[in-house]
Structure 1
Amino acid sequence: MAKPIIIHEDNHLLIVEKPTGWLVQGDETGDGTLTGWATEYIRRKYNKPGNVFCQPCHRLDRPVGGLVIFARTSKALERMNKLFRDRTIKKSYLAIVEGVPENPEKTLKHWLDKDFQKNKAHAYTKPKGNAKEAILSYRMIATHSKISLLEVNPETGRPHQIRIQMRENKTSIRGDLKYGNSKAKQDKSIDLYAYKLEFEHPVKKEPIKVISKPKWPDFQAFINELD
């Protein structure tokens, strides 16, 4: 399995490129986590004794790769949590989907809830029960051989949001059997990647922009041109 890569590091934040297949935080499998890896990295690099503060500010699903932000101080964690709540962090994903979207650019709105026992979300076209509003926009970058490359910008951060909203758009993500795709990938990953984050540093108040690009041969020329 591929190893994580440090993309950005300062006294308050650590931004890591998560390989597909890694858990951000522990689950019932007991498998190692990105949080554990990042904590050990800080401990060794700075020779820190005792407990090391290193907490994820958000999560990515296990089969999804890309950028994850960790807070190295409680102040940074509190302020990053507020940035996420206030939706002032711009998150951009890349996705390879089956088919060609009917609309090359579109905003999708659904109401989602999640069955935690089955680890699966459900989408509705109008408010229902405890379901929460989920909004994202996408644009098609390229298409060929009955698949398309999309840039996806979620406004909200609901569990499995992009995966289920892409299914509802009749463009399921390649490899995502859980949400309507027809064929699994050998490594059990799906072609959804958190490739760009833009936000104001929670302590330094400086603009932060980090980019990490997936290695997808089908569309690599287009991906290389993105900034």
Structure 2
Amino acid sequence: MSKRKNTTRTNPDIHVIYEDNHLLVIDKPAGVLSQEDHTGDPDVLTLCKSYLKKKYNKPGNVFLGLVHRLDRPVSGLMVLARTSKAAARLSEQVRKHAMDKTYWAMAEGMTPMEKTLVHYLEKDKNSNNVSAYKSKRGRAKEAKLSFKTIKQSAHYSLVEVDLITGRPHQIRVQFAKEGFPLWGDYRYGEPGKKGKDLGLRAVKLAFDHPTTQKRMFFEVDPPNLQPWNFFDY
């Protein structure tokens, strides 16, 4: 299910990967918020509500549930719920770790071929920065992921990451803590150097359909842009 059927025709435009009466699966562009915040910048939820309202000529407010988020600089697959029942059932899958999310990350340095990372993460609400620790401390929560290295060059490693927990900034912080900051990560890797998109993309998503219970699988390709065009796939 990797074909892009249409777009939201919004600004910015968003590719719609799959749509039915219960679900909307999209390819979120890098730099777009998942949900409205204090900045007033465009966000996925508002743009997709506008798309559905226009497409189906719906009067009044359109329901669309945010089941999970991607950080603003992260691109890739997201599923949104078009009914409250779907939202509740998909959210339950997230809580029970039954929704599988796979990412590609472009990391600096030579990563191990395979590894599981376990850290304890604590978020500073004032700065929105997350700190990683090797052992439990204070209010820090356990964060766990596994990865395998797909390709490597002299300076970069392309890794496929399976999230086991879902913490804020988790992949970015854990890789930076291990000494492999992600391409273009100015918050945790390259402070002060602007102009690069973050090398992190949600490329695979799997979950049970909220009404049919059928397992749904989605996959998107990386764009032909830096850093994804460093390697031939």
TM-score per shorter chain, which class?
over 0.9
Of 189, 197, 203, which aligns to 2:211? 203
Aligned to 1:51: 61
1:192 counterpart residue number: 200
The one of 18, 27, 35 equivalent to 1:17 is: 27
Q: Does 2:163 align with 1:154?
A: yes
Q: Is 1:111 matched with 2:120?
A: yes
TM-score using structure 1 length:
0.92
Structure 1, gaps ≥5 residues long: 223-227
1:43 counterpart SS class: helix
Q: Map 1:134-173 onto structure 2 (within 5 A).
A: 134-173=143-182
- Alpha-carbon distance between aligned partners in 1 of 2:188 and 2:29, rounded to the nearest angstrom: 21
Say if 1:98 and 1:181, in contact at 8 Å, map to a contact too.
Answer: no
Give CA deviations for 1:86-132 in whole Å, capped at 9, x if unaligned: 0011100001110001x210000111110121111011111111111
- Which amino acid in 1 is paired with 2:212? K
Contact 2:74 2:200 (8 Å CA) reproduced: yes
User: Percentage identity across aligned positions?
Assistant: 44
1:179 aligns with 2:188: yes
State the AA in 2 paired with 1:169: E
Other-structure match for 1:97: 107
Q: CA RMSD in A?
A: 1.4
Report the Cα distance in structure 2 between the residues aligned to 1:161 and 1:89, rounded to whole angstroms. Answer: 17
Deviation, 1:203, is: 1.3
Name the amino acid aligned to 1:128: R
Q: Does 1:130 align with 2:130?
A: no
Is residue 80 from structure 1 mapped to residue 87 from structure 2 by the alignment? Answer: no
**TM-fit CA distance, 1:145:** 3.3
Distance (whole Å) between structure 2 residues aligned to residue 184 and residue 105 of structure 1:
29
Which one-letter code corresponds to 1:12 in the other structure?
A: H
Contact map agreement 1:176 1:183 (CA 8 A) in 2:
no
Name the amino acid aligned to 2:18.
H
* 2:229 paired residue number: 217
**Any stretches of 5+ residues in structure 2 without a counterpart?**
1-10
Work out whether residues 57 and 81 of structure 1, in 8 Å CA contact, stay in contact via their aligned partners in 2. yes
The corresponding residue for 2:3 is none
Write out aligned runs for 1:50-69 (5 A).
50-69=60-79
Distance in 1 (CA, whole Å) between partners of 2:20 and 2:101 is: 20
